[in-house]
Amino acid sequence: MAQVSYLDVFWFVPNLIGYTRVGLAAAAVFGMYYEHPFLTFVSYGLSELLDVADGYYARKLGQCSKLGEVLDMVTDRCTTTVLLVYLAQLYQSNMLALLFCFIVSLDISSHYMQMYSQLVTGKTNHKEMGDNSHWILKAYYTDRRVLFAFCFGNESFFMLLYLNKYLPTYALYLSVPLTLAAFPIFFIKNAINVVQLYESASDLARLDAAEINKNKK
């Protein structure tokens, strides 16, 4: 069996999908700042849907990789951050801007803390749950349908907030109820991020305490 070089990993199908997501995210950002809401909606939506495809093909083709895992997480964090930054400008509300800043900070810190704590405890990726993992995180990460539903609902809430500023009045009769329907998913998703941040910080603190006590002996 031929050996895989590091260059081959760059050409793995799920990683190619990841690069496509980056390109679509860039197109969405262009659409935001040059006020092409249709381009933004289509590009951002496709990027989020491809988030499912990369994981599927990674497992199907046996092409799971650390590069793909980090690329996926970084793309998710960057696309959400850019959209929230733009929403803060679009709505011109100090309270909403503070809320969006909090959400961005929570999203980035909770996922970084989770990935770091999983790596130092010997896990292969940030979605791997052990017997002692919090039941909420187990339910969230171990069932891909649950994970997709919350991620899709959360991003849909943000995208609907964006579209509501551009849609004609008659279309708001549909988009506003959809926004309200997506709000509970957004709220729960970010509550899960709070749990993730706390549990990851606790895991790191336990490791620190164990190491300090070991050195005292």
Q: Which of 51, 54, 76, 203 is catalytic?
A: 76
Question: Can you tell me whether residue 182 is helix, strand or coil?
Answer: helix
**How far is Cα 148 from Cα 139, in angstroms, rounded to an integer?**
12
- For this structure, is 143 an active site residue? no
Q: What is the DSSP letter of 203?
A: H
Q: Which residues contact 199 (CB under 8 A, 6 or more apart)?
A: 114, 133, 134, 137
> Using the 8-state DSSP alphabet, how is residue 2 labeled?
P
Q: How far apart are CA 202 and CA 193, in angstroms?
A: 14
Contact 46, 99 (CB under 8 A): no
Q: How far is CA 15 from CA 70, 73, 82, 172, in A?
A: 10, 12, 22, 37
DSSP assigned state of 122: T
209: tokens are 């305490």
Residues that are catalytic: 76
